[in-house]
Structure 1
Amino acid sequence: MPKLTREEKLRRINANPALWLKNFVKVYYNGELVPFVLTKEQQHFVENMERFNITLKPRQIGFSTLYLGLILYYSFQYPNFNSLIMAQSEDVSAYLFTRLKLMYESIPEKYRIGFRKNNEMELFLENNSRIVVRTASKMKAESVGRGYSLNLIHLSEFAFYDEKFQTQALPALESTLIKNENSRIFIESTAHGMNYFYELFKESMAGNSRYKPFFYNWFCDSVKKQYQFEYELAKQWYKKGSLIKHLYDDEMDETEKKLYEMGATKVQLMWRRWRLQNMTPEQFKEDFPSTWQEAFVSTQESVFDQKQISDRLLFLPEPLNAKEINDLPDVLYPYLNKSLFIYKLPKPKEMYFAGVDTASGLSKEGDLSAMSILDSSGEQVAVFYQSGLPVYKFANIVNELGDYFNYACLMIERNSYGLDLINRLKREIGYLNLNKTKKWDKTTGRKTLEIGWNTDNVSKSKLIQDFKEAFEEGIILINDRETLQQMQIYMEKNGKLGNVRGKNNFDDLVIATALSIQSLKLGKYYV
């Protein structure tokens, strides 16, 4: 293979962001100025980034540094390249600009493009590329980006911006993005509760957003590199407390064993214990998540124990695939592993109890029609949920799914569209295994029986309190991820129960599962 000339080497380096950063840019690591060699996760991002990108990450794993490096790279390679860096506060903005300047100044003088301006949070290069740093808290959302035509936007710690600014500023910034192949938006943040960043990331993970999601957990290589010093402190702390050097398998609790299976080293598990001396498990999960869902744990107004939810999310079974399921009714096959998820096959002579929450089905943007099924031991064996499903179609699905699970006993919320569902099941289809509840007759003063569950403020509180007790006391076992994620965002605020407001934040599986628990409590079939 012929030896490359200096010009050919330079062309190769300039064509590759990772090579350019490694050869020309230096960063501070453990107090020393070293070549900027990308970590495994940084390399993964560079190789897979698209026009719109959103990253959820643990604290301090070098991704802000990566984005600053990429901004420098594109600014050097392309004249007239305009970039905006935005941070949540003035001190963070100043810190990012200082780091940007240090990285710029580390470039060898023979390869460094001179600047026309290098102050007031702006680096303006002689090739007319411009990098501007701004502070979200000092700008009006409606005017952000006005007058700009931008090639690259980096929104640092986006979850910590004011929520109104998040929702209003992002569309304004997106409209400033120049329409070419090198234009990009980088949204990155650690989690900060269930705000607009949560909604945006959740939608991207579901494939319902233009943004490509990137998630990196707390035991990835970047964390190992950044926290080496703390790992040594944790090992010393552990050795003093246990009189032994290493963490052995029989000393690990179930969560630690699962984290170990997921890739955490025993040194990292020691470090986790060390960290938990001065922070709550919820704080650790927010700053150092192992899954993207647990990053958004919120305990302030949550109805359900968030630690139990996030722990359960680590141990969920996969739903059965079509090859594992026998004799499923033809009407249900199109929904399998899209809207219908089955975790256990029906057993002969087993009793099943289902809860059903009915939506209007008039819009695909509306609430979900949902069904959750428990066996007699309280284990969740199947769920169905879909929006935009007319009641007459949902009635057929409920009938077929109930019949498949040994003619399951159904507790249906009878409010609004639920009453239509009850009538269709009973009178048109002939499904008779329907739970009844007692209700006072206001005229006669006698108790009467009616099919389904009538929800008002009092009965809804009982419904949710019973669900909370059953879940937290281990009376039921939730197997479905969507059910748990809806439980995560189910809140009590100002005396009102419901999901966190936001697009596609549903609570229908919470209600359906709560209704299935009421059916289980009654514990009887009506046929």
Structure 2
Amino acid sequence: MNKTTKQKLKKIMSSFELFSKNFIKIVNPQNEVVPFKLNKAQQELTEMINNDRFLIVSKSRKAGVSTKMIARAVYECVTKPNQLVLIVSYESDSAKNLFELIKFMNNHLPREKYPSLFPATKRDNRDELILENGSKIVSTVAGHKDIGRGMSPTWVHLSEFSFYGNQEKQLLSIEQSLVDNGRISIESTSNGLGNYYYRLWQRSKRGQSKYKPYFIPFYHELYRDLKKNELNEAESWHKQFFGERLSKKDLDEDEQALLDNGCNLRFLMWRRFKLQDMQLEEFYQEYPSNDMESFISSGNNVFDQNKILQRTNHLMPPINKNELSELPDSLQRYLGKELLIYHTYDRKMKYYAGIDVATASSGTGDYSTITILDEEGIEACSFASNKLPVYKFGLVANDLLRHYGQAFTAIERNNVGIVLIEKLRDDYNYLNLYKEKLFDQKGKRKKQLGFTTTKSSKPILIEKFKENFELGYILLNDKETLEQMQIYQIQDGKMGNKGNGHDDKVISAALSVLARLENKWYI
């Protein structure tokens, strides 16, 4: 072996991407044994694994993420001694298939040609592969027992995690069993809303978890090789049925939005092909273009799921904080985090706000939220924080409402809502507040500041909000508000979010609609 060859091999063995290309073999969709060359998505995942110990991947069906992770497991165990990689599946057939893939990759390593580079296989049984260098790969099923008990894994990969039973307990068990600097990767298609995987994904997406999120849409480059035959079939069908290949001029509104987000015409033809035999909602669940589609719910939903998803697919990002110069200094610290601005203040406009106040200030409880609409019904800004006590939140509310022309504001007065109302009125002399009409026991009409949420008033409030949203009288811009609306349900006669999710922005948005419909002005 000459020096140049040694140098090349050293470089290959130090790079997972080069190692896969040169030494890992897989069976492609055409049933051919070929080198495992990482595509763009797999390269991105590799980069994230290198940089982040905790990774969560949401994806469409059959994305090939597990293949990439197994190749990485083989690489880790071949190039490093005393590694313990745990591959966890949600059912025995899946675990068996994954372990067969592990053995296939291991058996196709060029040990005879490079015996010094590849440790020999010491043991290869039903669910365990042990190499002579002390490294081990174990494939197991997520059952009721704690995963990883009695082990000290260096890396754990959880496949289809959303289908596990007792997800939170299983994940906690794994985290506690990890060696120092060990890592965990989670990949899964979605399985509804009422589970821990959904809540973990939502927290990760908002930067409230140690897990870094990565979503793979149905049109991702990852699928271009995996679906090559299907894409060809769909294109042939389209030419036969429509007389030509799909072009940009033929796209409907949803297809144009997908094209703008990175989907190409071949995948759009494939989408049309699939929609012949399945409902749009079914397509969303199997082949989502964004994470909200993957978590689409059914059953007792209050809001039209398709309307929410259509709006989500056409959202524009909030204004960059570097482009906002007129905002008060007291609000600058919240920009881009708690405070999202979608439209700057227009002196020719009137504005309407809704506020939901929370008691928690520890960073773990409910949120205090503000939603502001302009007179045309377009959402101008959104604020949410679970770290501010009411007296600090009152300062934020006063400054933000005054910035938007002293917006006419409806505040939920339940619990600490009355504290905020009194602070705005008495401490800050803020007078442009919604007043609900009541009758006393003598039959006299009276008014009180704020909106009282009761078992009878809440459905009316939400129904007005639903009507305005679904008929297009308002235009929401805040993605988190739409996400909360997606899981807002009626259960046992009560309204709220499924799976212990927050609904604070739903309430503040509904109150902003109430303020706009009232259209009063007290200043």
The alignment's TM-score, normalised by the length of structure 2, stands at: 0.93
1:486 positional shift? 1.9
Given residue 295 of structure 1, which amino acid in structure 2 is its aligned partner? S
Indicate yes or no: 2:314 matched with 1:318. no
After superposition, the C-alpha distances for 1:44-64 in whole angstroms (9 at most, x for unaligned) are 221231322221222222211
Given residue 89 of structure 2, which amino acid in structure 1 is its aligned partner? A
Indicate yes or no: 2:503 matched with 1:507. yes
Partner of 1:93: 95
Indicate yes or no: 2:170 matched with 1:169. yes
1:446 positional shift? 4.0
Task: Spell out the pairing of 1:279-298 with structure 2 (5 A cutoff).
Answer: 279-298=278-297
Partner of 1:160: 163
Cα distance 1:361–1:121, how it changes in 2: closer, same or farther (>3 A)? Answer: closer
Question: SS where residue 332 of structure 1 aligns?
Answer: helix
1:66 to 49, 65, 68: 68
- The 8 Å contact of residues 48 and 55 in structure 2, kept in 1 or not, is answered as no
Task: Please give the alpha-carbon distance, in whole angstroms, between the structure 1 residues aligned to 2:414 and 2:345.
Answer: 29
After superposition, the C-alpha distances for 1:145-200 in whole angstroms (9 at most, x for unaligned) are 111111221111111112x2x100111111222225xx332211122222212222
Given residue 430 of structure 1, which amino acid in structure 2 is its aligned partner? N
Give ranges in structure 1 of 5+ residues lacking alignment.
none
The percent of aligned pairs where both chains have the same amino acid is 40
More off after superposition, 404-413 vs 274-283: 274-283
Indicate yes or no: 2:199 matched with 1:199. yes
Question: SS where residue 399 of structure 2 aligns?
Answer: helix
Partner of 1:522: 518
Partner of 2:147: 144
Cα distance 1:128–1:516, how it changes in 2: closer, same or farther (>3 A)? Answer: same
1:474 positional shift? 0.6
Partner of 2:420: 421
Task: Please give the alpha-carbon distance, in whole angstroms, between the structure 2 residues aligned to 1:335 and 1:92.
Answer: 46
Give ranges in structure 2 of 5+ residues lacking alignment.
none
Task: Spell out the pairing of 1:307-386 with structure 2 (5 A cutoff).
Answer: 307-386=306-385
Question: SS where residue 399 of structure 1 aligns?
Answer: helix
After superposition, the C-alpha distances for 1:239-270 in whole angstroms (9 at most, x for unaligned) are 22212x21122321111111111211111101
After superposition, the C-alpha distances for 1:462-487 in whole angstroms (9 at most, x for unaligned) are 11111111111111100112211222
Indicate yes or no: 2:258 matched with 1:252. no
Task: Please give the alpha-carbon distance, in whole angstroms, between the structure 2 residues aligned to 1:115 and 1:307.
Answer: 53
More off after superposition, 65-74 vs 108-117: 108-117
1:79 positional shift? 2.5
Cα distance 1:24–1:337, how it changes in 2: closer, same or farther (>3 A)? Answer: closer
The alignment's TM-score, normalised by the length of structure 1, stands at: 0.93
Task: Please give the alpha-carbon distance, in whole angstroms, between the structure 2 residues aligned to 1:525 and 1:20.
Answer: 69
- The 8 Å contact of residues 433 and 526 in structure 1, kept in 2 or not, is answered as yes
- The 8 Å contact of residues 349 and 406 in structure 1, kept in 2 or not, is answered as no
Partner of 1:306: 305
Given residue 107 of structure 1, which amino acid in structure 2 is its aligned partner? L
Task: Please give the alpha-carbon distance, in whole angstroms, between the structure 2 residues aligned to 1:336 and 1:152.
Answer: 37
Task: Please give the alpha-carbon distance, in whole angstroms, between the structure 2 residues aligned to 1:463 and 1:222.
Answer: 44
- The 8 Å contact of residues 340 and 382 in structure 2, kept in 1 or not, is answered as yes
Partner of 2:33: 33
Given residue 496 of structure 2, which amino acid in structure 1 is its aligned partner? G
Task: Spell out the pairing of 1:110-129 with structure 2 (5 A cutoff).
Answer: 110=112, 111=114, 113-129=119-135
Partner of 1:42: 42
- The 8 Å contact of residues 356 and 508 in structure 2, kept in 1 or not, is answered as yes
Given residue 169 of structure 2, which amino acid in structure 1 is its aligned partner? Q
Aligned residue-pair number: 514
Question: SS where residue 366 of structure 1 aligns?
Answer: coil
1:334 positional shift? 2.0
Partner of 1:494: 492
Task: Please give the alpha-carbon distance, in whole angstroms, between the structure 2 residues aligned to 1:306 and 1:374.
Answer: 22
Task: Please give the alpha-carbon distance, in whole angstroms, between the structure 1 residues aligned to 2:331 and 2:137.
Answer: 55
Partner of 1:215: 215
Task: Please give the alpha-carbon distance, in whole angstroms, between the structure 2 residues aligned to 1:96 and 1:271.
Answer: 28
1:463 to 448, 461, 464: 461
Task: Please give the alpha-carbon distance, in whole angstroms, between the structure 1 residues aligned to 2:351 and 2:55.
Answer: 44
Cα distance 1:24–1:349, how it changes in 2: closer, same or farther (>3 A)? Answer: closer
1:42 positional shift? 0.9
Cα distance 1:321–1:154, how it changes in 2: closer, same or farther (>3 A)? Answer: closer
Question: SS where residue 130 of structure 2 aligns?
Answer: strand
Cα distance 1:427–1:6, how it changes in 2: closer, same or farther (>3 A)? Answer: closer
Task: Please give the alpha-carbon distance, in whole angstroms, between the structure 2 residues aligned to 1:7 and 1:395.
Answer: 68
- The 8 Å contact of residues 359 and 368 in structure 1, kept in 2 or not, is answered as yes
After superposition, the C-alpha distances for 1:64-98 in whole angstroms (9 at most, x for unaligned) are 11111111111111222212111011111111111
Partner of 1:394: 393
Task: Please give the alpha-carbon distance, in whole angstroms, between the structure 2 residues aligned to 1:131 and 1:327.
Answer: 58
Cα distance 1:321–1:31, how it changes in 2: closer, same or farther (>3 A)? Answer: closer
Task: Spell out the pairing of 1:443-454 with structure 2 (5 A cutoff).
Answer: 443-454=441-452
What is the Cα-based RMSD across aligned positions, in Å? 1.9
Question: SS where residue 510 of structure 2 aligns?
Answer: helix
Cα distance 1:222–1:452, how it changes in 2: closer, same or farther (>3 A)? Answer: same
Partner of 2:136: 130
- The 8 Å contact of residues 343 and 381 in structure 2, kept in 1 or not, is answered as yes
Given residue 304 of structure 2, which amino acid in structure 1 is its aligned partner? D
Task: Please give the alpha-carbon distance, in whole angstroms, between the structure 1 residues aligned to 2:322 and 2:144.
Answer: 55
Question: SS where residue 308 of structure 1 aligns?
Answer: helix
Task: Please give the alpha-carbon distance, in whole angstroms, between the structure 2 residues aligned to 1:270 and 1:132.
Answer: 41
1:236 positional shift? 1.9
1:278 positional shift? 2.4
Given residue 216 of structure 1, which amino acid in structure 2 is its aligned partner? I
Cα distance 1:74–1:362, how it changes in 2: closer, same or farther (>3 A)? Answer: closer
Cα distance 1:38–1:330, how it changes in 2: closer, same or farther (>3 A)? Answer: closer
1:375 positional shift? 1.3
